[in-house]
Amino acid sequence: MALVQRHLAYEEGIAWLAKLRQQPTMFDWPMLLESGQLTSTDLTKRLAQDEEMSLGARFDIVVANPVVKFCHAQHQTTITTQSQPPIFEVSEGDPFSLIARWLAPQVSDAAVLKAAELPFAGGALGYFSYDLGREIEKMPSLAENDTPVPEMLVGIYDWAIVVDHHQQQCQLVSLLRYQSEAAFDALHQQLGAITVSPDKQPAFQVLSPIEYNLDANAYAEAFQQVKSYISAGDCYQINLAQRMSVAVTGNGFEAYSQFRQLSRAPFMAYLQVADTQGQPIEVLSMSPERFLQVRAGRVETRPIKGTRPRHTDPLQDADIANALVNSEKDRAENVMIVDLLRNDIGKVCEVGSVNVTALFKLQRFTNVHHMVSIIQGQLTETQSALGLLRACFPGGSITGAPKLRAMEIIESLEPHRRHVYCGSIGYIGFDGSMDTNIAIRTALIYQQTMTFYAGGGIVADSDCDKEYQETLDKASQFITLVRHFSNPNH
């Protein structure tokens, strides 16, 4: 089918999502991918200030009402097809392959979307949790699973609202895989008629102090065990994380709206979904890190390794950034992950096509500096974006090296399963394109508890106090968010 496009009023993606959320019976499973940009002026400024931060910073994508829902938990995928009544299927097959059957990417679609300068016009969108890696590798089950959310929640969406901040345009788009053009036009009229009304959900509130699953002493003990593994030659690097959690109530979308005011990032997301029992799940992501992008078979990944806190004084801030870029320890840590990802991508890319196109690039964010590298390659003709995702999952930048052994060690040292944290959020289009983040700086709201993780890579010459402080630096905006909503009067 041909691409169809209809103009809508130019508004931020978050504004469109707010409208869809107010009509949950017609627009269930709404999701938002944000680029962290607002206007063409902002984009121009960001381009001038930091070229790397601007990449992918043009579009917002809003979807709702999927034609199919995939909910994977405990080695089974429940596939719900939208119909009256809904059709349910339970499969023990590979979850990536199950999604692929519904996508059937077409080369002609890729050319159409490229000509229209659109990133997405329908396909799969959702989250792939860190623990979905258990479907790829045999893993021990040691960490407590006290937040039993599904390991994968993905919808197949036949239409999308795409906001182009560069052109200051908004369009409803579809490739009409699962609907008629008449139904699409009716949807366009419906969206154009929606007006915003006050949110009827109770205000978001934090009801408890932050609970840390690794205090400073427990972190130090785990840190020393990592050092012992490294000294024994068992591994080279381990990403050790701690979890923060609070009791909450009310409208999680309000928390996301506040979260994005504290810190913008290139790969932001808000997902309002549910498990097979109807238990609501909200995911709030301010991720700065691209995991995998595919455009016309061209692959890119941008691992982050190396972090320093920002300083309010410009001179001191510049000194801190300089120290990061020139740190031998952080460079070594970065190179380890670059090598790991080169190997992962190489499994599904043309021989000789995988190259490191940037090494040790500096990215600046609201509260931290990051060191980023860029790796690119070309998919083989027999491989797909989903095949690439599976081959590289979970991302090596948040496990350590070698990957499987690092994941085993993480499972033995971290008290709780990671769930969405360090998994991936993003889309795989009907045209074969893909863009996904590493789900760091990501909060999960489930059963009136909000959880958030922060971690960092530990290598042979890491310092325990500095590594522990780095987790707090990375969590600083979440801690600020909790403080904001802990006072009912704000």
Domains plus CATH for the chain?
A: 4-194+203-486 (3.60.120.10)
Q: Is the pLDDT of residue 246 over 90?
A: yes
Question: Is residue 489's pLDDT more than 60?
Answer: no
| 260, 280 contact by CB (below 8 A) | no
The answer, yes or no, to whether residue 40 has pLDDT greater than 60, is: no
DSSP codes of every residue in 433-476? -EEEEE--SEEEEETTEEEEEEEEEE-TT--HHHHHHHHHHHTH
Helix (H) or strand (E) holding 320: helix 314-325
Q: Is 305 among the catalytic positions?
A: yes
- The predicted pLDDT at position 198 comes to 77
| Contacts with 228 (C-beta within 8 Å, 6 or more apart), sequence order | none
Contacts 24+ apart (CB under 8 A), 314-323: 320/369, 321/362, 321/364, 321/369
- In this structure, which long-range contacts are made by residues 325-331, counting pairs with CB atoms below 8 Å and at least 24 apart in sequence? 325/360, 325/362, 325/371, 329/459, 329/461, 329/462, 330/305, 330/306, 330/371, 331/306, 331/360, 331/371
Beta strands in 150-260, from DSSP E residues, in sequence order: 152-157, 159-164, 169-174, 205-206, 211-212, 237-249
Nearest 5°: CA angle at 111, between 106 and 112?
95
Closest C-alpha to 64, from 271, 269, 254: 271
pLDDT digits (tens, 9 = 90+) for 435-456: 999 999 999 999 999 999 999 9
How distant, in Å, are the alpha carbons of 67, 391, 441 from that of 427?
Answer: 15, 16, 19
What pLDDT does 426 receive? 98
Query: With 90 as the cut, is the pLDDT of residue 129 above it?
Result: yes
Q: Which percentage of the chain shows pLDDT scores above 70?
A: 94
C-alpha span between 240 and 252 (Å, rounded): 27
Reported confidence tier of residue 175, pLDDT bands at 50, 70, 90:
very high
Catalytic residue among 19, 69, 305, 474: 305
Quick one: average pLDDT of 105-134?
89
Q: pLDDT tens, 297-314?
A: 999 999 988 888 888 888
Q: What is the pLDDT of residue 334?
A: 86
Span 59-76, mean pLDDT?
A: 96
Clarify whether 227 is annotated catalytic.
Answer: no
Predicted pLDDT of residue 107? 65
- Whether the pLDDT of residue 167 is over 50: the answer is yes
Compute CA distances 103 → 67, 164, 171, 274, whole Å: 12, 24, 22, 22
Selection from 112, 162, 225, 213 nearest residue 6 by Cα: 162
Confidence grade of residue 37 (pLDDT, cut at 50, 70, 90): low
Q: Across the chain, what does the average pLDDT equal?
A: 91
The single residue of 135, 151, 282, 289 carrying the catalytic annotation is 289
Q: Which residue has the higher pLDDT, 406 or 53?
A: 406
- pTM for the full predicted model: 0.93
Can you read off the two tokens belonging to residue 387? 């095949």
Check whether 243 has a pLDDT greater than 50.
yes
- pLDDT tens, 403-436? 999 999 999 999 999 999 999 999 999 999 999 9
Please give the Cα distance from 245 to 234 (Å, whole number).
32
Q: For the chain, what percent of residues have pLDDT higher than 90?
A: 75
Tokens, residue 239: 């990403």
240: β partners? 456
